[in-house]
Structure 1
Amino acid sequence: MSKQEYYSEDQKEENVDKEFQLNEEAEVQNSVIEAVRLVVPITDDPSLVAVTFRFWIISFFFSVIGAVIQQYYFYRSTAGSFSIFFVNLASYAMGRFLARVLPTSSFSIAGFSMSLNPGPFNIKEHALIGIAASTAANSAYAIDILSATDLFLNHRIGVLGSLLLIITTQSVGYGMAGVLRKYLVYPAEMVWWSNLVQVVFYNAMHNTDEFANQKMIRGWSYMKYFWVFCGGMFIWEFVPQWLAPMLVYFDWLCWINPFNKNFWAIFSSISGGGVFSLSFDWTSIGGSTMYLPLAAQLCNYGGMVLNYWILLPIMWMTNSLGTKTMGSPLTSRLFYSNGTSFDINTVLNSDFSLNESLYNSGEPAYMSPLYAVGFLTSFIALAGCVSHIICFHGSDLWRNWKSAVGGANDDVHTRMMQVYPEVPQLWYAVFYIIMAALSIVVCEVYDLQLPWWGLLVALALGWFLTLPICAMTAITGFGPGLNVITELVCGYMLPGKPIANMVFKCYGYMAMYQCNTLLSDLKLGHYMKIPPRSMFVGQFWGTMVGACFNYLTMILIIDSQREILNGDKQDPTGLWTGQRVQTFWGSGLIYGALGPARMFALDDRYGFVYLGFLIGFVIPVALWGLSKKFPTIQWSKFNVAIIAGGMGAFPNGYVVGVFPSLITVFVFQYYVFRYHKNWWKKYVFILSAALDTGAAFTGLVIFLFLGGGLSPKLSVTIPSWWANYYTPEGDNAPFYAVDRCGAAHNAWTGGA
């Protein structure tokens, strides 16, 4: 008997008996969350094994592809991603193929026996492959550090140091996930909304339970319906992603007066606020607009409208705090008071720390006012998240904390998972200690300016704020990050050290972010009834593979696109951008080299940012008080943390897709959900998966076969035409960018 099954034959028989008992009870004791009741089956087969030989082969293949594609999109202007649904489809085909051709012989490694072919490709094996691949398919946050030092300081850390930095920052969240799973995974209220789409997709592919019999429009099966819409989106996405990039940034209002600087700043989605801008690229909209809670989405997009459609035009037109002086309203660069660029390299020492005498002898640096507003909204979001969770969900969390798991009121899916052995807390604790120790080694050996005690402070900060942030994400689908608060703390602790600030932020932020990601995957495993120990193996495997190929892809792209990514050259197609790295580096300079005491002095122009903590804390308390006074009104749906998060949604890219996303939200989450609820129940999750998958397939094909991903010889450039405008010189002149908005070479005709 294989050790990886984790239980004996007697235990399996006992587990099956428990399964049948649970299924009888669950008929009347299903989940209290309506969406979960609609899509998550209450059946299980404990005999299915998730970690198989096929799992190792297929998960490695898709983890590599996912890490490469996601890192590729990190340097692209559109917020595309490597769709997990692509993995689900392709891995299903590969799994079934291997189940037919592999021999049934077994082999042993270190006492573990494993069959090359344990039988039919099963749903748990399939889901674990997807979880491992999704863990790998991220652009590791440490890539920001490595990219920034490479592009702006011409300093490249060695291969071993880079890989250790990526792996440790990606892994510190495991220990926290192990502790918090009882409170952020097992309760029914912790939905983790994006997982519901995957549950529908996996069950539809494997024809489980009611999915085997339910028919769609025209008598189609779930999968035929999926393939029709997936294929349609796949074909369409070649238009905006390759043939006509201007359809990604359809800034139609800007065309009224394209060379007027005021129009450009307000209506351009590449350089300005993108007011009423359209986008015909599904990757700018995303399937989550079709199913995330309506109130949360309205708060999110309401914040975007407030900041980019209202506040930005007001500040630009009135030149508040010198907004026009900085050139572009949303730039993350630093300037002198007259608007000329501030070069931080002229005031840095050889170890990249600030030379205070040089800095103080010259003119101080300033940031664009709307970039400062981004810090204000970050503080509002963080304080608002903590305050909102305490006020509106604190009693539930406290009750879950006291009861933990094993009570009569446990969610049905939690009771069903009790047939599987848990991952001991010791596993998570040992793993966390090892990664923390390696983190100290990385910081000390590779001279990252962050002392060992500073690293421990970063990890402690992540522990303290992870619970409220992950709770809000699980409940609403939205949650703030720790990137800004970590910058602030380190800026006061270690002023004048930009690299230390970036590293501190990476470890503090990633402790929370990775914990968030792992908890979400644990919830998917919870819904799919994957044994917890198999989940531990799958997540760790994906993290290791992803780290290695993130790094390799970063090196290849930086070496080939350096001038565009560091801002020395404009990309005529508008598809490559170093904006995310520039923003990360700009924050490092503001909080690290210059320090918050200089940039955000209370008596200076940006001192207002600290009001964000007060605003974020007070508003949820006031709403909670109103909920006691007027209990018939759902005051908790007005979430200041999500609103503030929307206001700061685009510091790392372009303001693309706000208007079409709002339209999609109202169509599906208001009109269809309210007036055609049966249609919504039946179609929305599988339709969301189909559209996201089709768009992801297109991005993959373009990257590999048309964009030179496999070989530069395969790169195909679309000739210049109306929707892909550029001159023989390689720029968009007379326009600033591909959206045909703004004057190239500063040749403005008005509004300057």
Structure 2
Amino acid sequence: MPLKSTLAVPITDDPSLPVVTFRFWLISFFFTALGATVQQYYFFRSSSGTYSIFFVNLVSFSLGKAMARTLSERKFTLLGQTFSLNPGPFNIKEHALIGIAVSTGAGSAYAIDILSATDLFLGYRINALGSILLIITTQCCGYGMAGLLRRYLVYPAEMVWWSNLVQVVFYNTMHNTQDFQSIRLIRGWSRMKFFWIVTVTVFLYQFIPQWLAPILVYFDWLCWIRPFDMNFWAFFSSISGGGILSLSFDWTSIGGATMYLPLSAQLCSFAGVIVNYWIILPIMWMNNYMGVKAIGKPLTTKLFYEETGLPFNIKPFLNQDYSVNETLYEQGPPANMAPMYALGFMTSFMGLAACCTHVGFFHGREIWRNWKQAVGSDQEDIHTRMMRVYPEVPQLWYAGFYLVMAVLAAVACEFYVDLRYLLPGKPIANMTFKCYGYMAMSQCNLLLSDLKLGHYMKIPPRSMFVGQIWGTVVGCFFNYLTMILIINSQRDALDGTKPDANGLWTGQRVQTFWGSGLIYGALGPARMFALDGKYWFVYYGFLIGFLGPIVLWALSKKFPQYRWWSKLNVAIFAGGLHNFPNGYAMGILVSLITALVFQWFLFRYHKAWWTRYTFILSAALDAGAAFTGLIIFLFLGGGLSPKLAVNVPSWWGNYYTPEGDNGPYLAVDRCGAANNAWTSGAEL
């Protein structure tokens, strides 16, 4: 039998506690808007920070308590309903629903990829109403599925969502005991004092790498030995190459998750990243595999012409409705992928197959046993029994909401996005189909997780329904507004017309999505991945991903004395291999060191310290870095208005010329030759 959730979840409840209060609306709006803005900002940055839910929980706790002390208790009547701005003490259910609402909306909406790609690479900006409809419908399409699956994946006791138990303990520690207030950390500081001191310190420090000295983001020290050698640049530059043994002193390149995610999973991921960037990339480059040197850089998601190395531009081959003119395309040379980009498709196939095989062989019996217990058991979960005091959300609500979203999605696609049909030769249609298909699954999983958290916290189901939709809709609007501000102010850097001299702004993630749209939509997978073509090898990813976990499972049966076989996860390793085209090579070594320090040394030899400090330290570091990025973008970077922009004078920490380039260096990491003035290593 699996460990029961009652060991971490109290089996008590107070149905009289108010949940959807004025404090909930105000605090959840603020943190959802902030999170959606911050995460959308990071989407266009070379280093991707995180918006910590622990930060939200900590600060919203203080704000809620303060509002409970200061707001008027006067009662108001609106539409026949009586309410108060201050219905009593700030309670645990209010707090948990704030966190749930924020978690549903404080991210970067996947539909932003479509809107950004069409704007940057086609010059086609979908209007505000169509954009908002596209974002909201893609973000909400998983609600109907989540509602239908509640009975099987939320209510049974056997369906334990382990990641939620950490938050359950966190909320109960803060609200139901005096431990949270009484625990003292270094120098006798309370947890909140420690949190704010670390946050402010990191906030001030981050101005150095993120604004004053971006060379600290890309500290490619090995590249300095021979900065104008093309091979050195391809191997050691973390902006354009493999970033071998490069360092980064920017916290957003490291991230707080390295401090608490399971070490085995991190090591599998880092192993994949290192194999990808430090081994495969140099081999392909030195052997000029598929003419990679003709492209001019080892890592790119742009398509190109093999003979000339010039970028492929889809625009001349598009009809007025943005479909591909097959006749025109066939008259010229075919578009090609860089080998590392093609490898990305192979490793994604590998990860997909390995995930299924690993779960099936290592955990299949356990999952099947728990599923039978969940569906066939006559014994009702105690939490489900306690939740019967609250009115359930009728299935009709979920079905109706799903139907509304489906209709709005059809309206967006027909009247605003100009999609027509899902066929080869229609890149926008294929990108949108991918977005709706992926988000239906992704959002369903996220919403089910939050429903289970609400189940554990005894939040009324109808309050959960309102809170999840509220957070999602708020996040959509701020995703869109942030995207517009960033594209308007950083268009040249994002579309590659004039790359950012300091290497901090990038359209890499949008370019990756657009590249996939061209391959699967405009040109069609038959052209790119035919068995008689040059990229047929990507299908080996399915075979490797299928067989890899089976081999590890067989070894675990042959040598059961070694219990770490199941921790060698091929799917996670493939995710590391797939780090390109999803990310840059910076911060790998420092992140690995951080993971080893916290998850091996401190966790094993100083576990009391790890337990006491890790989560709050991680939240403070991430929060401080996120605030710095937001301030730089809105004010110093001219996000709100170009008149507010403040450029740091050229000095050794940024080294850019008044013309906006880094000559004689190619980029801020002092690596690579500007104007193609290589001294060695450039021979094909």
TM-score by structure 2 length?
0.92
Structure 2 counterpart of 1:519:
448
Instruction: Specify the alignment match of 2:198 in structure 1.
Output: 229
Match of 1:580 in 2: 509
For residue 50 of structure 1, what is the aligned residue in structure 2? 19
2:218 is paired with a residue whose SS is: coil
Contact 1:392/1:636 (CA < 8 Å) preserved in 2? yes
Give the aligned residue type for 1:376. Answer: M
Rate the CA distance shift 1:294–1:137 in 2: closer, same or farther, 3 A: same
Answer yes or no: is 1:114 the counterpart of 2:44. no
Q: CA deviation at 1:191?
A: 4.2
CA offset at residue 684 of structure 1?
A: 1.9
Q: Which residue of 1 aligns with 2:437?
A: 508
- Measured in 2, the distance between the counterparts of 1:282 and 1:56 equals 32
Q: Quick check: 1:376–1:610 contact (8 Å CA) kept in 2? A: yes
Q: CA deviation at 1:190?
A: 4.6
Is 2:627 the partner of 1:732?
no
What code does the residue aligned with 1:305 have? I
For structure 2, list consecutive stretches of 5 or more residues without a partner in the other structure: none
**2:277 aligned partner:** 308
Structure-1 separation of matches of 2:589 and 2:382:
40
Q: How far apart are residue 244 of structure 1 and its match?
A: 1.4
Instruction: Give distance in 1, aligned partners of 2:221 and 2:233.
Output: 11
Q: Determine if the alignment matches structure 1 residue 263 to structure 2 residue 232.
A: yes
- SS of 2:579's partner is coil
Q: Look up the equivalent residue of 1:557 and give its one-letter code.
A: I
Change (3 A) 1:645 1:259: same
Match of 2:129 in 1: 160
| Counterpart contact for 1:203–1:211, Cα < 8 Å | no
Task: Give the whole-Å Cα distance in 2 for the aligned partners of 1:119 and 1:449.
Answer: 51
Provide closer, same or farther for how the CA distance between residues 82 and 707 of structure 1 changes in structure 2, counting only shifts above 3 A: farther
Match of 1:679 in 2: 609
1:374 aligns with 2:344: yes
Residue 131 of structure 1 aligns with which residue?
100
1:513 partner amino acid: S
Kept in 2: contact 1:192–1:520 (CA 8 A): no
**Residues 653-676 of structure 1: CA deviation (Å, up to 9, x unaligned):** 322221111111111111222222
Question: Hey, what does 1:497 align to over in structure 2?
Answer: 426
Superposition deviation, residue 333 in structure 1: 0.5
Q: Distance in 1 between matches of 2:77 and 2:295?
A: 65
Q: Which residue of 2 aligns with 1:401?
A: 371
In 1, Cα distance between the equivalents of 2:549 and 2:388? 37
For 1:330-369, list aligned pairs within 5 A. Answer: 330-338=299-307, 339-369=309-339
- Within 1, Cα distance between the matches of 2:619 and 2:426? 44
Q: Which string of whole-angstrom CA distances, capped at 9 and with x for unpartnered residues, describes residues 2-28 of structure 1?
A: xxxxxxxxxxxxxxxxxxxxxxxxxxx
C-alpha distance in structure 1 between counterparts of 2:23 and 2:626, whole Å:
24
On the 8 A contact 1:183/1:400 being kept in 2, the answer is: no
1:614 matched residue in structure 2: 543
- Structure-1 separation of matches of 2:243 and 2:350: 23
Query: Displacement of 1:110 after TM fit?
Result: 5.5
Identity of aligned residues (%): 69
CA distance in 1, matches of 2:452, 2:376: 17
Name 1:716's counterpart in structure 2: 646
CA RMSD of aligned residues (A): 2.7
Secondary structure of 1:138 counterpart = coil
Query: Please, which runs of 5 or more residues in structure 1 have no aligned partner?
Result: 1-28, 455-493
> Is contact 1:450-1:503 (8 Å) kept?
no
- The answer to whether the aligner puts 1:292 opposite 2:261 as a matched pair is yes
Is 1:556 aligned to 2:485, yes or no?
A: yes
Separation in 2, partners of 1:324, 1:73:
30
Query: Could you say if the C-alpha distance between residues 596 and 651 of structure 1 is closer, same or farther in structure 2, counting changes exceeding 3 Å?
Result: same
SS of alignment partner, residue 114 of structure 1: strand
Q: What secondary structure does 1:367 align onto?
A: coil
1:700 alignment partner, one of 627, 630, 636: 630
Query: What's 2:594 paired with?
Result: 664
1:691 paired residue among 621, 636, 640: 621
Distance of 1:184 and 1:504 partners within structure 2: 26
Q: Which letter does structure 2 place at the counterpart of 1:720?
A: S
What whole-Å deviation, never above 9, does each CA across 1:209-243 have from its counterpart, x for those lacking one?
Answer: 54344443444333233333333322322221222
Match 1:323 to one of 269, 292, 295: 292
Per-residue deviation at 1:206? Answer: 4.4
The residue type paired with residue 149 of structure 1 is T
1:560 is matched by which residue type in structure 2?
S
In the alignment, the residues of structure 2 paired with residue 185 and residue 314 of structure 1 have an alpha-carbon distance, to the nearest angstrom, of 48
Indicate the SS of the match to 2:459: coil
- Structure-to-structure mapping, 1:138-157, within 5 angstroms: 138-157=107-126
Give the TM-score of the pair, scaled to structure 1.
0.84
2:459 pairs with 1:530: yes
Instruction: Provide closer, same or farther for how the CA distance between residues 718 and 733 of structure 1 changes in structure 2, counting only shifts above 3 A.
Output: same
Count of equivalent residues = 679
**Do the aligned residues in 2 keep the contact of 1:31 with 1:411 (CA within 8 Å)?**
no
Q: What stretches of structure 1 move > 6 A for 4+ residues in a row?
A: 39-42, 408-416
Q: Which moved more, 1:518-527 or 1:692-701?
A: 518-527
Shift of 1:357: 1.2
Cα distance in 2, alignment partners of residues 527 and 381 from structure 1: 32
Give the deviation of 1:386 after TM superposition: 1.6
Structure 1, residues 374-419: CA drift from partner, whole Å, max 9, x if none?
Answer: 0000001111112222222233333333333796988886776566
